[in-house]
Structure 1
Amino acid sequence: MPQFAVDGAALTYDDEGPRDAPDAPLVFVHGWTANRHRWDHQMAHFSGRRRVIRLDLRGHGDSTGAGVRTVAELADDVLALLDHLGVGRFVLVGHSMGGMIAQTIALAHPERVERMVLVNSIGRMTYSRGRGLLMAASTLVPYRMFVAANIQRAFAPGHPREEIREYVRASAGTPREVVMTLYGAMRAFDVLDRAGEIRTPTLMVHGYHDVQLPVRQMLRMAMAYPDAVVRVLDAGHELPVEKPAELTAVLDGFVTVKQ
């Protein structure tokens, strides 16, 4: 597992596939409390014919480090890694918080992002006053209970409980400081008013049963994009692991540029 040191963190990443492939490298960015293995299915599918890069964000998975307070700082980590790897232009795929990172990069460096895919992601978190109070109160419960509540509701009804328990266990292994700080960072994230500036060809894939970031919020964002492609699948918030083959097929149809 190669690692890259940046600003007090050691980022673990995978860099696979042919370097001389004609298509731009694919860069996969996971979400809050997750890790790079959310993309196992996609990694296996694409790495046979093009360069594919994924990483554990700082404080997640096999990466170390903390201290990041904003989504923009996470975006800086991703760009630093890509600069280290000599990647100039790329296709960016982000899930949930990873999609927030992707939008941040596309706004700051549009010349580098050939295409972008937002999976279960939005440009602004909006919720009722009641839900806002509930979210604030949830931070007061014991840490593992807080993580479990958020991860369990991320899956659509009927997903195997054993798998959900494993994801809860893995997420609870993320340092509390990282989880709680980035929970606040996501709530503060807001680029919705700038969505019209993003000219990068963009695919938005969402789960119909997503209660974490409801599909209507994604559709609100899609209306602001000049030219967005939207796909809604029968899943919850964890599309990469709930419907891996379906998501991969949708990605393949969008990110592979036909000659």
Structure 2
Amino acid sequence: MPQLEVDGATLTYDDEGPRDGDGVPVVFVHGWTANRRRWDHQVAHFAASRRVIRFDLRGHGESGGAGVKTVQELAGDLLALLDHLEIERFVLVGHSMGGMISQTVALSHPDRVERLVLVNSIARMTYSRGRGLLMAASTLVPFKLFVATNIQRAFAPGYPKDEIRAYIKSSADTPREVVMTLYGAMRAFDVLDRVGEIRTPTLMIHGYYDIQLPVKQMLRMAKAYPDATVRILDAGHELPVEKPAELTAAIDAFVSAKPS
């Protein structure tokens, strides 16, 4: 698998599909404690007709390195990879923290992002007093319990327990330093007052049962976007694996639509 050295990190990535395919490349960015395989269904679909890029964030999956403390620094990794691949313009699809990274890129390089898809993502994390205390307390429990509790909550009621256990194990393999530092980075992330600057056509697609990043917070963000389409699916926080076919179809319809 190809790799790129970026500021002390080794980024592992996939570059698939025809170089002369339909439209600009589609770039997929996974979320906190996940890896690039989260996008298997979507990549298999899009790589049949256009170039597709996905990568493991530093410290996740098969990428090495740590040290980053902000979402902005992760956005820098993504841009370094795209510059290395000589990809100037692209469709950007980000899940959860990957959506935060994607918004950061759309704000800093609006001329490069043709369309933006935010999956289960928000522009500012807002906690009620009670939930804030609960989340703060969760960081005091043993690391594996902290990870397991967060991943368990990410899926809608009724999702197969054996599959949830597999995702918990995968997430717990992410180094503790990376998990906890980027947990803090997500809590500190806040571009809600700036999203009105994003003129890029944007699809916001969210799970109705998402309690990690609730629908209400996404709708608050959507109100501020000049050009946003909103879709709500019958799922939790992990749309790429809970509703893969529905998510893929929604993204395809959005990125394939002719400009109005």
In the superposition, the TM-score normalised over structure 1's length comes to 0.99
Matching residue of 1:158 = 158
CA positional deviation for 1:257:
4.1
- Conserved in 1, the CA contact under 8 Å of 2:22 and 2:49? no
C-alpha distance in structure 2 between counterparts of 1:154 and 1:105, whole Å: 25
Q: Determine whether 1:85 maps to 2:89.
A: no
Alignment deviations for residues 51-83 of structure 1 (CA, whole Å, 9 cap, x no partner): 000000000000000000000000000000000
Please give the alpha-carbon distance, in whole angstroms, between the structure 1 residues aligned to 2:257 and 2:47.
16
Distance 1:241 1:78 in 2: 23
> Aligned residue for 2:59?
59
Aligned position for 1:136: 136
Question: Could you give the per-residue CA deviations for residues 9-67 of structure 1, whole angstroms, max 9, x where no partner exists?
Answer: 00000000000124010000000000000000001001010000000000000000000
Give the alignment's Cα RMSD to 1 decimal.
0.8
Counterpart of 1:179 in structure 2 is: 179
8 Å CA contact 1:23, 1:257 repeated in 2:
no
Is 1:211 aligned with 2:211? yes
Indicate whether 1:103 and 2:75 are aligned: no
Paired residues for 1:68-79 under 5 Å = 68-79=68-79
How far apart, in 2, do the equivalents of 1:51 and 1:74 lie?
A: 22
Residue 133 of structure 1 and its aligned partner are, at CA, apart by 1.2
**Percent identical:** 79
Aligned partner of residue 194 in structure 2, secondary structure: helix
Deviations 1:205-254 (A, max 9, x none): 00000000000100000000011000000000000000000000000000
CA distance in 2, matches of 1:129, 1:109: 35
Q: Could you say which residue in structure 2 is the equivalent of 1:19?
A: 19
Equivalent-residue separation in structure 2 for 1:257 and 1:62 (angstroms): 34
Distance (Å, rounded) in 2 between the aligned partners of 1:194 and 1:55 = 27
Equivalent AA in structure 2 for residue 32 of structure 1: W
Instruction: Note if contact 1:4-1:81 (Cα within 8 Å) is conserved in structure 2.
Output: yes
Cα pair 2:113 2:200 within 8 Å, conserved: yes
Give the corresponding residue for 2:238: 238
SS at match of 1:87: coil
Structure 2 letter corresponding to 1:238: E
Gaps of 5+ in 2: none
1:53 aligned partner, one-letter code: I
Inter-partner Cα distance in structure 2 for 1:195 and 1:129: 25
Q: How far apart, in 2, do the equivalents of 1:225 and 1:92 lie?
A: 16
Q: How far 1:145 moved relative to its partner?
A: 0.1
Q: Could you tell me how far apart the structure 2 residues matched to 1:257 and 1:192 are?
A: 27
Counterpart of 1:192 in structure 2 is: 192
Contact 2:143–2:176 (Cα < 8 Å) also in 1: yes
Whether the 8 Å contact between 1:89 and 1:113 is mirrored in structure 2 is yes
CA distance in 2, matches of 1:138, 1:68: 22
User: For the residues of structure 2 that align with 1:128 and 1:220, how far apart are their CA atoms?
Assistant: 15
Instruction: For residue 256 of structure 1, report the CA deviation from its aligned partner.
Output: 1.5
- The number of residues matched between the two structures is 259
2-structure distance, mates of 1:20, 1:234: 35
Structure 1: runs of 5+ lacking an equivalent? none
| 1:25–1:53 Cα contact (<8 Å) kept | yes
Mapped partners of 1:90, 1:142: distance in 2: 40
Distance in 2 (alpha carbons) for counterparts of 1:158 and 1:228: 30
Q: Structure 2 length normalisation: TM-score?
A: 0.99
Q: Structure 1 residues 202, 95: CA separation in 2 closer, same or farther (over 3 Å shift)? A: same
Cα distance in 2 for residues equivalent to 1:218 and 1:133: 22
Which residue is 1:40 aligned to? 40
SS of corresponding position for 2:249: helix
